[in-house]
Amino acid sequence: MRILVIGAGAVGGYFGGRLAAAGRDVTFLVRARQAEVICEHGLRIVSPHGNLTLHPKLILAHEIAGFYDLIILCVKAYSLDAAISDFAAAVGPGTIILPLLNGMRHLDLLTGHFGEETVIGGVCFIAAELDKDGCIIQLTGIHRLVYGERTGGNSARMDSLHQVMQGAAFEARTSDNILQEMWEKWVMLASLGAATCLMRANIGEIEAVSGGAELARAILGESSAISTACGYAPGAAFLARTEKMLTTRGSTLTSSMYRDLSKNAPVEADQILGDLLVRGRKLGVATPLLEAACINLRIYEARL
């Protein structure tokens, strides 16, 4: 299976790098500057599961020749339009696009360009970031991919994809209800992002003050209410895990959006919070805390 990974940042570089190290036929579609850095220093991963440096196959957009079997899309949502233009020539009749973006808006954009059949559902769970030298730093031990047909159930191509993902030094599984899992991750990301960005603090700092834990629970309640109104009620086990994550005493957990904000970098405010709020408003869901967090982030973005 010929695999094209779009982006060699924290997510694409990590999972694509692990696949390449496991002997899969992986090529990274990158920008010229990133290609220079990787050619000079290698693709470097620092991880609790073992460090890795490799010199993978790289390609620029104008160098694409022929179709790929699998495209793993790992860009920030605000870069999606440009990425679609870059990798469009790699999409053929049998290509599978596995997007690992946050939220749900990207599905409409991708299926509009490439058709319903080409795009499957996917979520990734990893806390990682690039350091100042372009090295991928995995911040916790979690590294998991979940993928499945958006229509539900299993298929022969999911079986083939699953076989490719096995033995690559990260957890990987198929899901017969991937949209539910995507919505639950969205609820988690929106809640964690809204709490940490609105309060400019990690979870332990929020929990430590009077009313902090209650605020985090209320934000989770708003996110869950939107998901439920949209037909994807979060499961009880998911809600219990997420509430614990948002209220753990002494936790240093933050969201990737908060880490980006702390670096004065662009954030995915509209993709993680804005789109969720639009869906909630259409269904009459009251979400004052999420609204406040989203406005706060839009003010931040306007200052960049």
Give the angle subtended at the CA of 117 by the CAs of 112 and 121, to the nearest 5°.
85
- Lookup: tokens for 195: 């709490």
* Side chain identity at residue 213, one-letter code: A
* Side chain identity at residue 252, one-letter code: T
Nearest to 198 by CA among 275, 285, 269, 127: 269
SS3 4: strand
CA-to-CA distance for 54 and 43, rounded, in angstroms? 5
The residues carrying an active-site annotation are 185
Helix (H) / strand (E) containing 111: helix 105-114
Terminal C-alpha separation, the chain: 41
Torsion angle of alpha carbons 155, 159, 165, 167, nearest 10°? 160
CA-to-CA distance for 184 and 38, rounded, in angstroms? 35
